[in-house]
C-alpha cells in the first residue's frame, strides 16, 4: 500500500524535518537534564525530610509529596504557565515546564528514595552509630549508598517516565521534540515527522527500558 | 580499691513507656575482666548492654567508662564517647556495599580522622588478629557468618575501644562456626581487653569468664565466679534458669 508508506514513512519529508527535530531533541535533552538532575537531588532531600523522626518536618513534607503525586502533571503545568501570571508570576515556557515537572518529579523520586531508605535495616544505623559516626557520615557513607542501590531500577524507571513526560511541554509551545515534530507535520501535511519523533523517543528510551528489566531480573535472583 | 573499674553501672533504670525493662542495675567490670551476663530472654541483658554506648537512652542512673559518666554527656560529645566502647551485634551488621577492609577502615577515617594509610595498616592488623587478613578485599556477602562476626570484631577493635560489648555474638551462627568467634574472644581476654558479654554460651562462660552475672526481670539476681554461679547458685531463679538451659542443651 503506497499510501501508507507515503503518509507515515516518507523519507524525503523526514530528511526535510530532521533539522527541526534535532532542535527539538536538544530542547528535550536540556529539559531532561534540569528536571532529572534537580529532581534526583530534590527527591533525596524530600525523602530525608519525610523519613525524619521530627514530625514538624516530616508531616508537611509528606503532605507536599502526596499533593504533587495526586495532581496530574498537565494540570500543574498549565496552572504554573497560565494560572500564575494572574498572581504576577510570569515565566518563560522553559521555566514553567521546569518548575512544574520538577515539583511533580521530585515527589516521585522522593517516594522511591523513601522506600530505599526504609529498606536499610536498623542494624546498619546502629553499627554506624556505635562506631562514632555522625548523622551526616552515617547517611552519606552507610545508609544512602545502600538505599540507592536497593531502588536503582525504580529510580531508572522513574527517569524514563520523566523523559516521556517532557512531551507534555508541547502544550505550552515549548519547542521540544514532539512540538517540533507536530510543527513539521502541519507544515508538510504529512505524518512522517511524528513517526520519526516516536522513533527518536524509542532509540532514547529502549536501552534504558532494557537496563531496568535486566536489573530487576538480577535483583530477583 | 586500687583502680577505678573500667565500666561501672550504678542505679541504671530504663523504661519503655510504662514497661520497666531495667530496675536499678548495679554492675562493675574491672580492667581486663571478662564478665558474662546470662538470663532468660526479656530479662533486660541486651538493653543494659545497649545503654553502655547509649544506643538506648537510660531513663536514670549513671554509667561510668574509665571514670567518666556517659549518661549526662552532651550530644555533641556523644559520638566521641561512643568510640570508647566497641559493640559487636548478634546480626554482625557489616556494611554490605563495602569490602571487608573498607568496613574496618570507615570509622577510623571518619570518626577518628586517621589518614587512609594509617587506617588501612590498622585494619589489616586487626583482620590479621581475627585470622581474616586474606579476606580483606572480599565483600561481606562472600563470608560465612563466623567470618562476618570476626570482621565485625575487627571493625570495633580498630577504634581502640576501652571496653568491648558483645550482644549475643554467636546466637546467629551455625554451631560449627561458633568456635572461631569464641577463640577470638579468648585471645582478646589474654591480651587484657575489658569485655562485657551477653551470651548463651554457658560452656564458654564456665571456661573463660572471670565473673558471671545472672539477670532476671530487669535486676541483677546474683553474680560471682563461674564455678559458684554454675556449681552452687544461691537463688531459686538462677537454679530454675540454669536447669532449663541445661535441659534444653541436653535435648539437642
Helix (H, G, I), strand (E, B) or coil at B73: coil
Q: Which residues contact A132 (CB under 8 A, 6 or more apart)?
A: B79, B80, B82, B83, B107, B111, B112, B159
Contacts of A214 (CB under 8 A, 6+ apart): none
* Per-residue confidence band for A5, with pLDDT thresholds at 50, 70 and 90: confident
What pLDDT is attached to residue A4? 87
CA distance A162 to A159: 5
B155 and A131 within 8 Å at the Cβ level: the answer is yes
**pLDDT of B162:** 95
Picking from A134, A141, A146, the nearest residue to B79 by CB comes out as: A134
Name every chain A residue with its beta carbon within 8 A of the beta carbon of B156.
130-131
Question: Is the confidence at residue B32, as pLDDT, over 90?
Answer: yes
B2: left (phi over 0), alpha (psi -120 to 50) or beta: alpha
Residue A2 has pLDDT above 80, yes or no: no
Residue of A nearest to B112 (CA): A132
Residues of A whose CB is below 8 A from B85:
130
Taking CB atoms and an 8 Å cutoff, what residues of chain A touch B89? 123, 126-127, 130
CB A141 within 8 A of CB B106: yes
CB contact under 8 A, B107 and A129: no
In the sheet with B68-69, reading across from the earlier edge strand, the strands are B19-29, B7-16, B60-65, B68-69
Per-residue pLDDT, B74? 84
Residue B182 vs residues B45, B146, B185, B209, B233: alpha-carbon distances, Å: 19, 10, 5, 12, 25
A154 has a pLDDT exceeding 80: yes
The more confident residue out of B249 and A152 is A152
Is residue B110 less than 8 Å (CB to CB) from chain A? yes
Nearest-by-CA chain A residue for B87: A130
The share of chain A scoring above pLDDT 70, in percent, equals 98
Nearest CB to A132; choose among B83, B96, B97 = B83
Asked whether residue B1 carries a pLDDT value surpassing 60, the answer given is: no
Are the beta carbons of B78 and B54 closer than 8 angstroms? yes
- How many A-B residue pairs are in contact by the CB < 8 A criterion? 65
Q: Residue B168 carries which DSSP code?
A: S
- Facing A132 at nearest CB: one of B79, B93, B94: B79
B residues 166..225 contacting A (CB < 8 A): none
Place of cell 579476606: B135
Beta bridge partners of B25: B12
Task: Determine the Cα–Cα distance for residues A156 and A161; give it in Å rounded to an integer.
Answer: 9
Searching chain B, which residue's CA lies closest to the CA of residue A126? B55
Mean pLDDT of A41-50: 97
User: Distance between CA atoms of A155 and A158, rounded to whole angstroms?
Assistant: 5
What are the residues whose beta carbons fall under 8 Å from the beta carbon of A123, sequence distance 6 or more?
B89, B91, B93
- Which of B49, B96, B196 to mutate to test binding with chain A, by most A CBs within 10 Å of its CB? B96
Q: What is the pLDDT of residue B212?
A: 96
The CA-atom distances, in angstroms, between B70 and each of A10, A122, B42, B57, B75 are: 79, 23, 24, 10, 10
Please report residues of A whose CB lies closer than 8 A to that of B123: none
Q: Which residue of B has its CA nearest to A143?
A: B95
pLDDT at A120: 96
pLDDT tens digits, B77-105: 888 888 999 999 999 999 999 999 999 99
Is residue B250 predicted with pLDDT exceeding 50?
Answer: no
Q: Is B73 on the interface with A (CB under 8 A)?
A: no
pLDDT at A221: 58
The answer, yes or no, to whether residue A187 has pLDDT greater than 70, is yes
B window 2-61, beta carbon within 8 A of A? 53, 55
Residue B63 φ/ψ, nearest 5 degrees: -130, 115
Q: Does B134 touch chain A (CB under 8 A)?
A: no
Q: Is the pLDDT reported for residue B249 higher than 80?
A: no
pLDDT digits (tens, 9 = 90+) for B103-137: 999 999 999 999 999 999 999 999 999 999 999 99
Sorted by sequence, the CB contacts under 8 Å of residue A120 that are 6+ apart come out as A142, A143, A146, A147, A150
Task: Rounding to the nearest 10 degrees, give the CA dihedral for residues B194, B199, B202, B204.
Answer: -40
| Strand (E) or helix (H) holding A65 | helix A55-70
- What distance in Å separates residue A126's CA from the closest CA in chain B? 7
Instruction: Choose among B91, B97, B111: nearest Cβ to A131.
Output: B111
pLDDT band at A125 (very low <50, low <70, confident <90, very high): very high
Q: Please write the tens of the pLDDT for every residue from B176-200.
A: 899 999 999 999 999 999 999 999 8
**pLDDT on residue A217:** 80
Q: State the pLDDT confidence band at A33, using cuts at 50, 70 and 90.
A: very high
Helix (H) or strand (E) holding A116: helix A93-119
Answer with the residue of higher pLDDT: B75 or A161: A161
ipTM, 2 decimals? 0.89
Per-residue pLDDT, averaged over A129-140, amounts to: 94
Min distance A181 CA to chain B CA atoms (Å): 45
User: How far apart (Å, rounded) are the C-alpha atoms in residues B127 and B125?
Assistant: 6
pLDDT of B251 reads 39
Smallest CA–CA distance, residue A186 to chain B, in Å, is: 53
Band of residue B245 on the pLDDT scale cut at 50, 70, 90: confident
What's the whole-number average pLDDT of chain A? 93
Contact between A131 and B89 using a beta-carbon 8 Å cutoff: no
- pLDDT value of position B192: 94
From chain B, the residues in CB contact with A141 under 8 A are 106, 110
Q: Cell numbers at residue B32, please?
A: 581486663
Judged by a CB distance cut-off of 8 A, whether residue B79 touches chain A is yes
The DSSP secondary structure of A185-201, one letter per residue, reads: HHHHT-SHHHHHHHHHH
The β-bridge partners of B12 are B25
Count of CA atoms in the C-beta half-sphere (13 A) of B236: 0
Q: Which three cell numbers stand for residue B39?
A: 538470663
Amino acid at each position: 500500500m503506497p499510501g501508507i508508506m507515503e503518509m507515515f514513512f516518507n523519507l524525503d519529508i523526514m530528511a526535510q524535518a530532521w533539522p527541526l527535530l534535532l532542535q527539538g531533541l536538544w530542547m528535550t535533552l536540556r529539559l531532561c537534564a534540569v528536571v532529572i538532575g534537580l529532581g534526583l537531588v530534590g527527591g533525596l532531600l524530600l525523602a530525608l525530610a519525610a523519613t525524619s523522626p521530627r514530625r514538624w518536618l516530616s508531616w508537611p513534607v509528606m503532605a507536599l509529596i502526596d499533593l504533587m503525586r495526586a495532581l496530574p502533571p498537565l494540570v500543574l503545568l498549565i496552572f504554573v504557565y497560565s494560572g500564575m501570571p494572574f498572581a504576577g508570576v510570569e515565566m518563560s515556557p522553559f521555566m514553567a515546564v521546569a518548575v512544574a515537572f520538577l515539583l511533580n518529579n521530585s515527589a516521585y523520586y522522593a517516594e522511591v528514595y523513601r522506600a530505599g531508605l526504609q529498606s536499610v535495616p536498623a542494624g546498619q544505623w546502629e553499627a554506624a552509630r556505635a562506631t562514632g559516626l555522625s548523622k551526616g557520615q552515617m547517611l552519606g557513607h552507610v545508609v544512602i549508598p545502600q538505599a540507592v542501590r536497593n531502588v536503582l531500577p525504580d529510580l531508572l524507571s522513574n527517569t524514563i517516565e520523566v523523559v516521556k513526560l517532557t512531551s507534555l511541554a508541547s502544550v505550552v509551545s515549548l519547542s521540544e521534540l514532539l512540538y517540533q515534530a507536530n510543527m513539521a507535520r502541519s507544515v508538510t501535511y504529512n505524518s512522517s515527522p511524528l513517526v520519526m519523533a516516536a522513533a527518536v523517543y524509542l532509540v532514547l528510551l529502549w536501552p534504558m527500558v532494557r537496563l531496568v528489566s535486566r536489573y530487576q531480573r538480577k535483583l530477583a535472583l | 580499691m586500687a583502680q577505678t573499674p573500667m565500666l561501672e553501672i550504678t542505679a541504671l533504670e530504663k523504661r519503655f513507656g510504662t514497661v520497666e525493662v531495667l530496675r536499678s542495675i548495679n554492675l562493675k567490670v574491672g580492667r581486663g575482666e571478662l564478665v558474662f551476663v546470662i538470663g532468660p530472654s526479656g530479662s533486660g541483658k541486651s538493653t543494659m548492654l545497649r545503654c553502655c554506648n547509649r544506643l538506648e537512652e537510660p531513663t536514670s542512673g549513671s554509667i561510668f567508662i574509665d571514670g567518666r559518666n556517659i549518661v549526662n554527656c552532651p550530644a555533641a560529645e556523644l559520638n566521641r564517647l561512643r568510640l570508647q566502647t566497641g559493640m559487636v551485634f548478634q546480626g554482625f551488621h557489616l556494611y554490605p556495599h563495602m569490602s571487608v577492609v573498607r568496613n574496618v577502615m570507615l570509622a577510623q577515617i571518619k570518626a577518628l580522622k586517621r589518614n587512609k594509610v594509617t587506617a588501612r595498616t590498622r585494619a589489616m592488623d586487626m583482620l590479621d588478629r581475627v585470622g581474616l587478613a586474606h579476606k580483606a578485599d572480599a565483600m561481606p556477602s562472600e563470608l560465612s557468618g563466623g567470618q562476618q562476626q570476626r570482621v565485625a570484631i575487627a571493625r570495633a577493635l580498630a577504634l581502640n575501644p576501652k571496653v568491648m560489648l558483645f550482644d549475643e555474638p554467636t546466637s546467629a551462627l551455625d554451631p560449627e562456626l561458633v568456635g572461631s568467634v569464641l577463640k577470638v574472644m579468648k585471645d582478646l581476654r589474654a591480651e587484657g581487653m575489658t569485655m562485657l558479654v551477653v551470651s548463651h554460651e554457658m560452656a564458654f562462660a564456665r571456661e573463660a569468664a572471670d565473673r558471671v552475672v545472672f539477670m532476671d526481670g530487669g535486676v541483677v539476681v546474683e553474680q560471682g565466679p563461674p564455678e559458684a554461679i554454675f556449681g552452687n547458685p544461691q537463688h531459686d531463679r538462677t537454679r530454675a534458669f540454669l536447669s532449663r538451659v541445661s535441659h534444653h542443651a541436653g535435648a539437642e
